[in-house]
Amino acid sequence: MLTLREILRRFWPYTRTDRAKLVAAFVAMAASTACDTAVVTMFARIVDGATVARSMDAVWPSAVDWMVLTAVGGVLSVVGGWLMVGAAERFVFRLRHEVFAHLQRLGPSFFSGHPTGDLISRLSTDIDGVEALASSGIVTTVIAVGTAAAYAAAAVIVQWQLALIVVALAPLMWLTSRITGRFTRTAARTERAAAGEVGNAIQQSLQNLPLVQAYGTEAVESARLDHHGEVWWRARARESRLQMVYAPITTIIQSGALLAVLVAGAAFIASGELTVGGLFGFAAYLGYLYPPLSQLGSLHLTITSASASCERLLEVLDAEPEVVDAADADPSPVRRGRLELRDLRYVYPGTDSAGLDGVSLTVEPGRFVLVTGPSGAGKSTLTRMLLRFVDPQDGAVLLDGVDVRDRTIAAVRDAITLLPQKPMLFDLTVAENIAYARPDATRAEVEAAARDAGALAFVRELPQGFDTPIGEDGATLSGGQRQRLAIARALLRTSPVLVLDEPTTGLDAPTARAVLDPLKRLSGGRTTIVVSHDLTPARDADLVVVLDAGRIVARGRHHELLARPGVYADLWAAQQGALPDDGPVPVPAPPRPVPVPPRRPVEVVPDAVTNPLRLLALAAAEAAVTARTAVSGRASNAALLAPSARESGTVAPPPPGHPTPRRPRHGAPPPDPRPGRSSRSSVTNGPLVTPRGPVPGPRGPASGPQPSSGRHDAGAPRRRTVADLVGGRPGAPSHRRPDPGP
């Protein structure tokens, strides 16, 4: 439980620009209190003027003084309050800003332990709690302390014997406040935590509302909210009731004190030690003294209640960012985009299994690397490390030969454009969403980016074109349209490195197709790392890196990896819909004859012969490849790897003076390096990212695409694929567990 002193110590820095105003406010309020105290001295003069001197001569000047002092005191009080409230509200505004800004610096570990709804509650309800303390609480304290001190001093001067009676009762009020505060503290903590849970329950339910509605689990979600809501309202009611109890108890104490003063005062008047005016004056002091004392008591409750909020805010402010700039970090921009990963190792805090373990890789500027692997292999961890969301515990990431930890975070993130898997759009207009990458972009640049991303046509169809609001996360757009806006946004950035996170995974074939060309434009000339389950871009990659359990288990060109058994071949087969992607390859025995499509005989690598299922997958893959080549008709500009580089894992640029070996265009696939493979059945180099075309299924006749037009008709009904036949979906990773088999 934080004390007022600790709260002031921790939060005082946030008042930095308003301290002059605070001082002015204190002075104004102190002067106002002095005026009010002086007014009370008029009580005795007016009453005694009439009752003792029996003359109005003393009454009128006192009455005039009374009015003047009251008016001046009132004005000073308004000025002081005005300044104080402005400073207090600005403090709350700044506090929210600081908490939010700090939150944005925190890393994945913090967010995995703090649900979004709870964090929203901290930034709203808990900030409101601090606001109650800062605005009314601090103003009340200042006025109350000043007023109570002034009236207490005046009361002692006027009648110290009566003042003693009052002082003797003051500890009772303090005790009441302490006892009530103790119970309030527990209730306030419970209430704030429950408010966080309520926020979280609402956020989760609304976020997943389509699922909730589709599964008819509205009652379950309501019950979840009610569960936390009930804890909240009970705690809230307890807190309010305790504060309510405090008021009548203090009234009884005050009333008792007044009675004691009257009785003692009557005795003093009877003995001639006190005039009636003196007793009136003292009673007036009491009337002014008790409200601020009472406010100080309830302030204790406000502090108790607000300290629960302060604790929750300090928990955020005290959380250490996982990545910070070194004191001498280099802010200069990264120009070439040469990327080197040196023996990276990362273990998530609180776990003992490595997310990455000894990962080394070099990518020369302008090269394209596909990083793939099964679920949990470490792909996302690698993406986080490239963008410095986390730093490795061992090893280093180097950009243009400099450890990213020696560069500023801003310089590293300026150098890398992330295209996240989820488009992540804001509830803004189309133009504002695109310009998010570069707020100073002109409308012409925004429109050019939209055109290059293939978004111009649909944006023009929107009711207000580029000025159409797209709703939360682009709710009014289709998945493909959202993705194209995200690509347009990325196109506005000119960074030398591009990280594409699952650019086509989860999109259906026509949608994926619609985003392929813009993706190629996006990657042109930049160092491109595609992190994906989807192996569609594999043929265009200068290097395919296969991660498994945090380690690189294979690397090479697509056809090289496909030629040898292992994780990659299994992934590829799984993607064709014939094998599960996350388990051992079942080897049925004895081998059964494999139906080979009659029009497209497939030559297989030796290991596939022993495994009919793999053979089946390869057959499907081959047909798909041929279909892709016919459909797309585009050749990639990616260069072939130098053998030495392939072995070392380095994607090397072509030697100077040598023309970059270009991939043959459509219709002229290169000879397959695998022995015994004809160019016809070899894995060809298609575009950077190419949708899988129709493939001949093993359970039906071969039905290769008709290359007559050279373009796929997106509007034509999609033919059944192997994936369809086995219930999978092309482009989407299979997460089915392997069939245990007979």
Ligand X SMILES: Nc1ncnc2c1ncn2[C@@H]1O[C@H](COP(=O)(O)OP(=O)(O)OP(=O)(O)O)[C@@H](O)[C@H]1O
Read off φ and ψ for residue 462, nearest 5 degrees: -70, 155
ω into 590 cis (within 30 of 0): yes
DSSP state of 407: B
| Cβ closest to ligand X, residue 375 vs residue 706 | 375
| Cβ closest to ligand X, residue 217 vs residue 380 | 380
| Cβ closest to ligand X, residue 51 vs residue 375 | 375
| Cβ closest to ligand X, residue 229 vs residue 378 | 378
The residue ranges that bind ligand X (CB under 6 A) are 108, 112, 348, 351, 353, 355, 373, 375-381, 533
| Cβ closest to ligand X, residue 377 vs residue 624 | 377
3-state SS, residue 469: strand
Q: How far is the CB of 738 from ligand X (least distance, A)?
A: 16
DSSP 539-589: GG-SEEEEEETTEEEEEE-HHHHHTS-SHHHHHHHHHTTSS-SSSPPP--S
| Cβ closest to ligand X, residue 91 vs residue 389 | 389
| Cβ closest to ligand X, residue 349 vs residue 591 | 349
Residue type, 102: H
Q: How far is the CB of 643 from ligand X (least distance, A)?
A: 29
Closest CA to 405 of 488, 470, 342, 474: 342
3-state SS, residue 674: coil
Q: How far is the CB of 546 from ligand X (least distance, A)?
A: 11
| Cβ closest to ligand X, residue 288 vs residue 346 | 346
CA distance 394 to 448: 43
Sorted by sequence, the CB contacts under 8 Å of residue 547 that are 6+ apart come out as: 359, 371, 372, 373, 377, 378, 379, 382, 553
DSSP 626-659: HHHHHHH-----PPPPPHHHHHHTEEPPPPTTSP
At residue 567's C-alpha, the angle toward residues 563 and 570, to 5°, is 70
Q: How far is the CB of 547 from ligand X (least distance, A)?
A: 6
Q: How far is the CB of 175 from ligand X (least distance, A)?
A: 49
Q: How far is the CB of 529 from ligand X (least distance, A)?
A: 13
Q: How far is the CB of 114 from ligand X (least distance, A)?
A: 12
Sorted by sequence, the CB contacts under 8 Å of residue 246 that are 6+ apart come out as: 176, 177, 180, 297, 298, 301
Q: How far is the CB of 353 from ligand X (least distance, A)?
A: 6
Strands 368-372 and 527-531: parallel
Strands 402-403 and 394-399: antiparallel
CA distance 26 to 5: 18
Q: How many residues are listed for the chain in this entry?
A: 742
Strands 394-399 and 339-347: antiparallel
Q: How far is the CB of 344 from ligand X (least distance, A)?
A: 12
Question: Where on the phi/psi map is residue 649: left (φ > 0), alpha (ψ -120 to 50), or beta?
Answer: left
| Cβ closest to ligand X, residue 381 vs residue 433 | 381
| Cβ closest to ligand X, residue 256 vs residue 349 | 349
Q: How far is the CB of 109 from ligand X (least distance, A)?
A: 6
| Cβ closest to ligand X, residue 186 vs residue 380 | 380
Q: How far is the CB of 432 from ligand X (least distance, A)?
A: 30
**CA distances (Å), 739 to each of 276, 580, 614, 735, in order?**
101, 8, 15, 12
